[in-house]
Each structure stands twice: as structure tokens, then as C-alpha cells.
Structure 1
């Protein structure tokens, strides 16, 4: 039997609002790639790559895309089991709202790739025909 919709909505609503402050073990990270089995390789502001696990309440509810931002809680090195170094405790869905927070790292600048794609993108367009050039 599937999960109740109220659980799905609660997980989705929780990820839209950023927390007021972060704990010592928490950090924002950029997702590099999905490793499978709810594991993700993430890039921390300290230029370190970590392998983190998605919290159970977000699984099959919220999808994380490559290049997106997540809030990770790193476990102390003495408590780590295997290669997993922490857990994704929140997913940044409303990036504009999260960027207003004082704890947003300066190492994650605002991306301008949306503006660049509009200028000279030829994706989905037909190639120019020869008859247009002969005028």
C-alpha cells in the first residue's frame, strides 16, 4: 500500500522553507551525481566531495537533480560506517529563498546558465536550408 498523501505533502512543504540557522554538523552541498540506492555524491563549499544518503522521508517523494542543492548533515568520522559520510536532511527547492539566508556559502555563486542558453541555442531547431542562403 502506498504512503498517505499527507506524508508526501509534508515532506514537500518541509523542503520549501529554509531553516533559520544550521547546526555545526550541517552544510549546504551541490549534488554532483546520483550513485544509486539513495546515495548521492555531493560537493561541499570546502571543495570536498562526500557520499551522502537521502533521508527515508524523501525517498520516492522528492527527486534530486544533478547540480541541485541539498542540506547535508555529516556524521563524525568515528561514527561513520563504510563510505557514506552523512545524510541529506533537506532538499533546496526554492533556491531564491534559500540564497537570502546568511549561511548560504559564497562558493556557490548564482548560476547564469539560463541566460546563456537563450542566446545561441540551436537545440530543437531545424538546420538552415540552402534556399535561404541563395537570396
Structure 2
């Protein structure tokens, strides 16, 4: 039996809106790799790599993809058990709204998948064709 729709909607709505401010132990991170068993390798703005766990309320509800952003709560080093260094508190779904917040780190540039006005970009374009006249 699946989860009730009200639970799914509540989790989806919670991930859409960014918080007003972050706690001292929280940080934004970019997902680098899915490690399995609901563990993800993430890169913090200071280029440090951490292993974080996805809590049960997000599992099978919100999908975390490589290159996406998550809000991570880091566990102090004296309270850690094993390799897991933190827990995912929120998943960034509306990246534009999150980027407008004052706590968004400058170390995370715009993703290449986001629409941009840069005409020199070759993302999603066909490679140049070769002319038959050059033979």
C-alpha cells in the first residue's frame, strides 16, 4: 500500500520553498554521486566532500539527482557513528527561488541545464557539419 497523497504533497510543498535563514550546522551542497542505500556523496561550497543520508520522509517521494542541490545538516565530528557526516534536510527543487536567498554560496555557478541567454554555448546543439567542397 502506497503513502497517502497528503504526505506526498506535504513533502513536495516543503521542498519548493526555501527557508529564510540557515542554522549554523546547515549548508547547501551539490550531489556528486549516489552511493547506494540512500547515501549520497555531496560537495560543500568549500570543495570538501561529505557522505550524507537521505531521511525516510524523502525516500520514494522526492528524487535526488546527480548535479542537484540539497540542504545538508552536518553532524559534529564527536557525535558521528561511521562514515555518514550528515543528513539531507531539504532537496532544492525550485533552484531559481533558492538562488535569490542571501545564503546561496557563490561557489555554485548556474547549472548548464538551466536556460541562459549565452549564445556561445554549444550545449544541446548539433555539431558543425563539414562541407563536401573541402575534398
TM score, norm. by length of structure 2: 0.86
Aligned equivalent of 1:103 = 103
Tell me what 1:92 maps to.
92
Q: Give the count of matched residue pairs.
A: 126
1:75 is matched with 75
SS in structure 2 of the partner of residue 102 of structure 1: coil
Give me the CA root mean square deviation: 1.9
Give runs of aligned pairs for residues 33-48 of structure 1, distance below 5 A. Answer: 33-48=33-48
Residue 125 of structure 1 is matched in structure 2 by: none
The ranges of structure 1 where at least 4 consecutive aligned residues each deviate by more than 2 angstroms after the TM superposition are 111-116
Using the alignment, how far apart are the partners of 1:113 and 1:6 within structure 2? 31
Q: Does 1:121 align with 2:126?
A: yes
CA shift at 1:133, angstroms?
A: 4.0
Displacement after TM superposition at 1:45 (Å): 0.4
Unaligned runs of 5+ in 1: 123-127
Deviation of the 1:3 alpha carbon: 1.1
Give the gaps of 5 or more residues in structure 2: none
Q: Higher helix proportion, which one? A: 1
